[in-house]
């Protein structure tokens, strides 16, 4: 994930600050120098770093901090607040047209992730009960149209195309007409990119903009390109007056500088980020959550939201009832595991937890393998065995191990783990009942 180097450097600085009972002006200055270096190393734009350090310093040497009982934490709080401001203050929602359809035009260099992002956004809108249409205006890159059609088919979203012989401006116009006729409330136009910015491309994009008057012109920027991403953003913004930015590939080993600079340099909000190659790898950009991720304070809110998206609420309630009534079986255990899997790799989830040391994640993949084994073991059991594991004797264990391609030891381990979980739930259910009866007071 992006920002790893930056986060560990900042945390080191913060650790030193927190350890001090009183802060002198020199302490603050030293800390600011370290923050500055960390940001520059993370490839944040030089001017952005300078302004940032100036605003933090101005506040950090003030009376407020010096008189605070926890001056170190106070400085961290200021860094957090200023970082949020730098990233765009608050979430910036999509601009929606009063009269549908809302027209969203995607622009950016080739390979930035435009086409993929068009698919991701369409899926995101669909999940929110919208009816998006994708329009294929990239007639130059071989297979770009096909790529969009394949993505559309995967998520069951229509794709409008007139092949690669029609002018993109005409395709965009016809696409919107098509969307209107079919009751689509969002039309997403995927335009062509080039490997480098060129005038011809810019003119074509300007012509499309003029012809369809989009509600949003979203610039898709590859976060891996570092400083260059900022130049690209400035150039596109200067020519097209974009309405927002989407950063892709934040899952990669990027230093994260682009993410931190792009809003400050263009004055345009980051609306979404791409965090992987899968179509579900899209996140709404929340400056405050991103700031706490960068500062290593975790991202508990994103974690909660992810869980809510993946977990069926009815099922969760049902599960709660089962726990209360001690009816929790291996079937439920399996289902819970499958829901966990929907949330994405365990590694990614754990990284969002504050204070979690990402460097200790080395052998986590094994856990995922173990999860696959657990699943195979439970699936090799009969319904009766899942409902009542106490009937699983030695010969049944042998059969289950063979059926799941595992060993008797693994079956035993799962059964004792499950038994332990059930015991804990029993205690928990007891406590809950006690609380209801007013036995426990706080």
Mind giving me the DSSP string for 12-71? HHHHHHHT-SS--HHHHHHHHHHHHHHHHHTT--HHHHHHHHHHHHHHHTSHHHHTSSSH
Q: Which is nearer to ligand GDP, 121 or 411 (CB)?
A: 121
Kind and range of the H or E run holding 268: none
Structure tokens at 236: 């596109």
Other beta carbons within 10 angstroms of residue 402's beta carbon come to 12
110 a known binding residue? yes
C-beta closer to ligand GDP: residue 225 or 243: 225
Residue closer to ligand GDP by CB (options 150, 391) is 150
Residue 109 marked as a ligand binder: yes
Tokens for 302? 């994103």
Would you tell me which residues interact with ligand GDP (CB under 6 A)? 108, 110-116, 193, 248-249, 251-252, 274-277, 281
- Which is closer to ligand GDP, CB of 112 or CB of 262? 112
- Tell me the β-bridge partners of 159: 134
Instruction: Quote the least distance from Cβ 217 to ligand GDP, whole Å.
Output: 15
Identify any residues that bridge with 280 across adjacent strands, giving them in sequence order. Answer: none
Is 5 annotated among the ligand-binding residues? no
CA distance 183 to 189: 16
**Nearest residue to ligand GDP on Cβ basis:** 274
Give the nearer residue to ligand GDP in terms of CB position, either 73 or 110: 110
Contact 48, 260 (CB under 8 A): yes
Determine phi and psi for 344, rounding to 5 degrees.
100, 175
Nearer to ligand GDP, 5 or 111 (CB): 111
Cβ-contact 268, 244 below 8 angstroms: yes
Is residue 406 a known part of a binding site?
no
Residue 105, helix vs strand vs coil: strand
Q: Minimum Å distance from CB 6 to ligand GDP?
A: 19
Q: State yes or no: 229 annotated in a binding site.
A: no
On whether the CB atoms of residues 132 and 186 are closer than 8 A, the answer is yes
- The residue among 79 and 221 lying less far from ligand GDP, judged by its C-beta, is 221
Consult the annotation and say whether 355 binds a ligand: no
Beta strands, E only, 230-355? 244-248, 270-274, 282-284
- The least distance separating ligand GDP from the CB of residue 246, rounded to whole angstroms, comes to 9
The enclosing H or E element of 369 equals helix 364-379
At its nearest, how many Å lie between ligand GDP and the CB of residue 284? 14
Cβ of residue 41: shortest distance to ligand GDP, in angstroms? 22
Closest separation in Å from C-beta 279 to ligand GDP: 10
- 249 labelled ligand-binding: yes
The whole-angstrom separation of Cα 283 and Cα 272 is 6
Nearer to ligand GDP, 41 or 277 (CB): 277
> 131 in helix, strand or coil?
coil
Shortest approach of ligand GDP to residue 120 CB, angstroms?
8
Of 269, 264, 291, 290, nearest to 50 (Cα)?
264
Dihedral sign computed on CA atoms, order 117, 123, 127, 131? positive
State yes or no: 250 annotated in a binding site.
yes
The answer to whether 201 is a known ligand-binding residue is no
Least distance to ligand GDP, CB of residue 102, Å: 21
387 is in an annotated binding site: no
Contact at 8 Å (CB) between 115 and 147?
Answer: yes
Tell me the binding residues: 108-115, 190-194, 248-251
Tell me the binding residues for GTP: 108-115, 190-194, 248-251
């Amino acid at each position: 994930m992006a920002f790893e180097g930056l986060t560990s450097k900042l945390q080191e600085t913060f650790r030193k600050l927190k350890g001090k009972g009183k802060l002198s002006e020199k302490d603050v200055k030293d800390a600011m120098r370290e923050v500055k270096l960390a940001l520059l190393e993370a490839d944040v734009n030089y001017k952005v770093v300078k302004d940032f350090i100036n605003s933090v310093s101005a506040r950090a040497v003030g009376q407020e901090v010096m008189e605070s009982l926890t001056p170190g934490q106070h400085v961290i709080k200021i860094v957090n607040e200023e970082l949020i401001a730098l990233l765009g203050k608050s979430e910036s929602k999509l601009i929606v047209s009063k009269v549908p359809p809302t027209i969203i035009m995607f622009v950016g260099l080739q390979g930035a992730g435009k086409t993929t992002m068009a698919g991701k956004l369409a899926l995101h809108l669909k999940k929110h009960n919208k009816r998006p249409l994708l329009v294929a205006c990239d007639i130059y890159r071989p297979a770009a149209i096909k790529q969009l059609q394949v993505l559309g088919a995967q998520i069951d979203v229509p794709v409008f195309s007139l092949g690669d012989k029609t002018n993109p401006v005409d395709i965009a116009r016809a696409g919107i007409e098509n969307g209107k006729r079919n009751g689509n409330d969002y039309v997403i136009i995927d335009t062509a990119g080039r490997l480098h910015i060129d005038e011809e491309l810019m003119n074509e994009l300007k012509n499309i903009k003029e012809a369809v008057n989009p509600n949003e012109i979203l610039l898709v920027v590859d976060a891996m390109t570092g400083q260059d991403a900022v130049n690209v953003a400035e150039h596109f913004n200067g020519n097209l007056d974009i309405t927002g930015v989407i950063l892709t590939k934040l899952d990669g080993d990027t230093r994260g500088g682009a993410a931190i600079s792009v809003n400050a340099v263009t004055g345009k909000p980051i609306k979404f980020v791409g965090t992987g190659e899968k179509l579900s790898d899209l996140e709404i950009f929340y400056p405050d959550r991103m700031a706490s991720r960068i500062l290593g304070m975790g991202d508990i809110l994103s974690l909660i939201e992810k869980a809510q998206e993946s977990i069926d609420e009815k099922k969760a309630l049902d599960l709660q009832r089962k726990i209360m009534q001690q009816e929790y079986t291996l079937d439920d255990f399996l289902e819970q595991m499958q829901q966990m899997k929907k949330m994405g790799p365990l590694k990614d989830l754990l990284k969002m937890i504050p204070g979690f040391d990402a460097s200790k994640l080395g052998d986590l993949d094994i856990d995922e393998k173990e999860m696959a084994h657990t699943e195979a073991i439970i699936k090799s059991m009969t319904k009766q065995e899942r409902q009542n594991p106490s009937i699983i004797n030695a010969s049944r264990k042998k059969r289950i191990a063979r059926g799941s391609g595992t060993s008797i030891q693994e079956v035993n381990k799962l059964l004792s783990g499950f038994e332990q979980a059930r015991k804990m739930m029993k205690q928990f259910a007891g406590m809950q009942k006690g609380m209801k009866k007013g036995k426990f007071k706080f």
